[in-house]
Amino acid sequence: MRSHRRLRLLAPFLLVPLISSCFASGGDGDEGSGDTGGSRLRVALAFPPAENLSPYGADATLLSRLGVTEGLTALDANGSAAPALAASWRQENARTWTFTLREATFQDGTEVTPEAVADSLGHAADAEPAPAALTGVSLKAEPAGDRAVRITTAEADPVLPLRLSSPSLAVLSAKAYAKTGKADPVGTATGPFEITEVNGATSASLDRFDDYWGGRAQAAGIDARFIADGTARANALRTGELDIAEALPVAQAATLDRDERRDTATTRTTSLLLNARTGTFHDAGLRAAARAALDTSVFAKDVYEGYGDPGAGIYGPAVTWAEGKRTAPVGRAAEQRPKGETVTLATYDNRPELPEVAQVVKEQWEKAGFTVRLVVREYSRLESDALDGKFDAFVLARNTLLDTGDPVAVLAGDYTCDGDFNIAQLCDKGVDRAVAQAEKAADTDRRRDAAMAAEARILGTDAVLPLVHQRIITGVRDGVQGVVLDPYERTLVGTGTRR
């Protein structure tokens, strides 16, 4: 039975002051330089907590986007590992790395020590189900002196520093684990903002953590609301109830003044996944016909109203190194003419454009000769069926670098025989060999080259059909500065975010 990574897509972490220096922000001024009390920020997020704010699942990115949690490393603008709670690191041998910690304090007042970090990573390694960043990876962390942590993996892991940037590997104090089997981030994290109150799936209050190692935040705190309806988020911003609203629907962009919206190329791709194991699309020729029937130009232009780029591959334009390395798909089958075969096409409505994408796909496929039944539900009511292969096709918006920052990880998790998020149900020996070869590459350029070779193999199966590379629209109220526009969708509020 395949291990299911639950609710992976529901939220877009990380190092707020460090990352905000790498990405475009909504204002000027030095991060963390404010000496005044500051105003509170009113922020709306698109997805409510789904797992009681556990850092091991989708809620990890809610915590990071609000500036609560951080890990040993971060991602810089080029997708490389950058210092965070670890000031530096070195590789001792193929399986062992040593990370030197910076001076930092947990929000409960205790010191970030090697013992605390090792304990926190140990809890993550033992979590069930495993955090996405640790899928297929076994690691052990132990203190290595006054300011260092030694991490050993069961197998060679050339991208361990990237892996430790994952939102799901946030470092928490010992207090977080007082309840058996739980990891409570309330008052136990290290970021510039501390959660003080959580009102179910409706709202949360956060106060500035004045002892933050990266400098005192300029905002006094955050009043966060979880508003699933995109139109409601846009309306609340327009009427002055909010300062920042994330992930606004493209249909609402024109209702905002130009200086109140920011669009950012992201590493999120909307794709059509075809069930290669059972049903209509078990036939490679019919998968080829399904691909040939699509006019993908309409998705970026019409459905996303220009806030997107036409689908070119698994990785989009925000993965800046990918375009120059992309090669043609390998091994595509000849098209087989559809003869009314029935297809069940599913998607979710948490991202408002996806049902429209699915409707366009339905119309194009029916014109080509398929019979299409459309299923639209809220994501949490859909994922288990998708992972169990109960649909013939699935429209999915997937951030390819969210879980680890490693381009190979998404290929292994989504498109190999043993992948834990393999909605396409793909099991192809050529793909598995190509991904395994990429996983062995330690040099950054060679790993990227191997990832693109594996992408060509995956696209050649026609089990994944990239439709559009998304641009995320963030609503920013006039006068608000320093909003962090992160292509990895891991952070939103930084120490310099203020109004």
Give the pLDDT confidence score for residue 11 in this predicted structure.
42
Using CA atoms, how far apart are residues 248 and 250, in angstroms rounded to an integer? 6
DSSP structural state of residue 433: H
Query: Which two structure tokens, joined as six digits, stand for 223?
Result: 């009043």
Residue 424 in this model has a pLDDT that exceeds 70: yes
Task: Write the pLDDT tens digit of every residue in 359-409.
Answer: 999 999 999 999 999 999 988 899 999 999 999 999 999 988 877 888 998
Task: Write the pLDDT tens digit of every residue in 35-75.
Answer: 457 899 999 999 899 888 999 988 999 999 999 999 999 99
Task: Write the pLDDT tens digit of every residue in 244-270.
Answer: 999 999 989 989 999 999 999 888 999
One-letter amino acid of 131: P
Question: Are the C-beta atoms of 91 and 100 separated by less than 8 Å?
Answer: no
Helices assigned H by DSSP within 250-382: 250-253, 284-292, 297-298, 353-368
Give the pLDDT confidence score for residue 129 in this predicted structure.
83
Question: Are the C-beta atoms of 83 and 18 separated by less than 8 Å?
Answer: yes
Q: Which of 256, 70, 73 is nearest to 149 (CA)?
A: 73
Give the pLDDT confidence score for residue 35 in this predicted structure.
46
Query: Which residues, 6 or more positions from 179, have their beta carbon under 8 angstroms from its beta carbon?
Result: none
Query: Which residues, 6 or more positions from 29, have their beta carbon under 8 angstroms from its beta carbon?
Result: 218, 481, 482, 496, 498
Task: Write the pLDDT tens digit of every residue in 222-243.
Answer: 999 999 899 999 999 999 999 9
When pLDDT is averaged across residues 437-462 and rounded to a whole number, the result is 94
More confident position, 406 or 342 = 342
When pLDDT is averaged across residues 92-106 and rounded to a whole number, the result is 97
Arithmetic mean of pLDDT over the chain: 90
Domains observed in the chain: 16-243 (3.40.190.10), 265-471 (3.10.105.10)
More confident position, 19 or 118 = 118
Residue 32 in this model has a pLDDT that exceeds 70: no
Question: What is the pLDDT confidence band of residue 1, given thresholds at 50, 70 and 90?
Answer: very low
Q: Report the alpha-carbon angle 141-146-149, nearest 5.
A: 20
More confident position, 481 or 132 = 481
Question: What is the pLDDT confidence band of residue 33, given thresholds at 50, 70 and 90?
Answer: very low
Q: Token pair 């709670």 is at which residue?
A: 85
DSSP structural state of residue 400: T
Residue 140 in this model has a pLDDT that exceeds 50: yes
List phi, psi (to 5°) of 449: -60, -45
One-letter amino acid of 492: L
Give the pLDDT confidence score for residue 269 in this predicted structure.
94
When pLDDT is averaged across residues 8-28 and rounded to a whole number, the result is 43
Query: Which residues, 6 or more positions from 360, have their beta carbon under 8 angstroms from its beta carbon?
Result: 298, 299, 302, 303
List phi, psi (to 5°) of 238: -65, -35
Residue 184 in this model has a pLDDT that exceeds 80: yes
List phi, psi (to 5°) of 392: -80, -30
Using CA atoms, how far apart are residues 58 and 47, in angstroms rounded to an integer? 10
One-letter amino acid of 183: A
| Pairing between β-strand 81-83 and β-strand 464-476 as defined by DSSP bridges | unpaired
Task: Write the pLDDT tens digit of every residue in 280-297.
Answer: 999 999 999 999 999 999
Above pLDDT 70, what percent of the chain?
Answer: 92
3-state class of 253 per DSSP? helix
Question: Are the C-beta atoms of 85 and 103 separated by less than 8 Å?
Answer: no
Question: What is the pLDDT confidence band of residue 181, given thresholds at 50, 70 and 90?
Answer: low
Question: What is the pLDDT confidence band of residue 350, given thresholds at 50, 70 and 90?
Answer: confident
Question: What is the pLDDT confidence band of residue 136, given thresholds at 50, 70 and 90?
Answer: confident
Above pLDDT 90, what percent of the chain?
Answer: 76
Using CA atoms, how far apart are residues 481 and 25, in angstroms rounded to an integer? 7
Q: Which of 166, 164, 447 is nearest to 322 (CA)?
A: 447
